[in-house]
Amino acid sequence: MKPALTGVLLVGGASTRFGSPKALARVDGETLAERAWRLLGESCDRRIAVGKLADGLELPFPLVDDDTEVRAPLAGLVAALRVASTDLCVVVPVDCVSLTGDALRALADACDGNGAAVPSRGPLPGAYRKAALAVLERRLEAGELRLRDAVDELGAVRVELPDAVLVNLNRAADLAGGSAAATQRATARVRVARGSTDGDLDDVAVEEPLEIRIDGEPVAVTMRTPGHDEELALGFALGEGLGPVDAAPTADLAANTVDLRVRAFDPDHLRRHFYTSSSCGVCGKGALDAVAVSAPPVTTDVSVEAGVLGSLPDQLAAAQPGFAATGGLHAAGLFDLDGTLICAREDVGRHNALDKVVGWAFRSGLVPLDRRLLCVSGRLSFELVQKAALAGCGVLVGVGAPSSLAVQLAETQGITLCGFARADRVNVYAHAERVRFRSCP
């Protein structure tokens, strides 16, 4: 017999980025609060909602006050565990619009005999037992608000859940289209003139700044498409040779800021604050040696059919809902050697898209990528080859052409560089020995 389960809803508050309380935003005819409350009612034996009574949110259910001045999920989790009538709780943030009852039950089942169980990508949603309360209370009192750190201290079980059920809303524009699928496109609607008409609405890709911090110190600002920001920060750190450990949003979840943890941070390694534009990650670097690859050449015995490499762009294009809606997003994808897509990410910057994929792979324990393939939707620049090298990937495929410097770096770093990949054909510019071409009859 399964133990009784309490569902906990963290209702959040007024988000400066979202523009209004997320709990009251509507999707598919109901507010996010109503949607999440209904899911917990269908999946759990009991349910409670936690937030700040002082925010005055008009909710159709009672609210437990977290009774702190802190705005952080940790405060809500502590308040919930204190009042929950069952030993086991599943905790859901109000902006996770695609969660399912099966996902919640998987977390609860994994918590058997453990203080907590969380998705591999982060601490929320998650299952927590009352036994975790002592650790959580101590960290809250000490002002240690990173729930991810608390989960690490608890030795939480990591549960693999599909990315599709972990999508969350970060901005009001994510509601465009009125469905959960639209939240994954990171689009905004603007007015556009077409000939004699000037009142049409069109979808455009969203571009916003993201500040990456180490030990509270800003080290980089990149213009990116919101979403998968922690992956972006981890991929950025790998590409800069910073030895990433983990990344998480700041305590203010509405801020365009990510905290990055690295093994050892030498400020002199970053002689200036990085600024990467959405068009070229190398822009602004003082000299070519400032971006010299600090990784050994990739050594791998992989052998790949040319037809497989040529097929990757079409598979990547099929996983680009943002581009389909706007025509304004790049993409990167990680593939198995047989051409099976493992992970795809979109962004206004091609280097950001690759950082997100590499960051996902790092978080999933797949780095180095010596038995994987990377594919990008545009041209092949120096920095993309650099990022592939630092991720340990020996095969990089692009839809467009490489630059001369990209080819030189690929030769030096032992990377098979493939451009103009389409319709089962590919041009190989470096280390063609890993590519098996079909013999002519």
Helix and strand counts by DSSP (H, E) for the chain: 11, 24
Please tell me which residue in 44, 89, 111, 280 is annotated as part of the active site. 280
Q: Which amino acid is at 163?
A: D
Closest C-alpha to 99, from 39, 41, 57? 39
Closest C-alpha to 50, from 97, 18, 106, 7? 7
What does the alpha-carbon distance between residue 307 and residue 223 come to, in Å, rounded to a whole number?
A: 35
Question: Which residues lie closer than 8 Å to 398 by C-beta, 6 or more apart?
Answer: 375, 376, 377, 378, 379, 380, 384, 418, 419, 420, 421
The encoded tokens of residue 226 equal 């919101």
Question: Which residues lie closer than 8 Å to 374 by C-beta, 6 or more apart?
Answer: 332, 333, 334, 335, 354, 357, 388, 391, 393, 395, 396, 397
96 is catalytic: no
The encoded tokens of residue 215 equal 């030990």
Backbone φ and ψ for 40, nearest 5 degrees, come out as -65, -35
Closest C-alpha to 94, from 139, 133, 47? 47
Contact 133, 164 (CB under 8 A): no
The encoded tokens of residue 281 equal 């990650």
What does the alpha-carbon distance between residue 247 and residue 48 come to, in Å, rounded to a whole number?
A: 29
Q: Which amino acid is at 48?
A: I
Backbone φ and ψ for 329, nearest 5 degrees, come out as -130, 140
Interaxial angle between packed helices 229-239 and 350-363, expressed in degrees from 0 to 180 and rounded to the nearest 10:
90
The encoded tokens of residue 252 equal 């203010």
The encoded tokens of residue 251 equal 């305590």
Closest C-alpha to 179, from 101, 102, 97, 104? 97
Annotated catalytic residues are 280
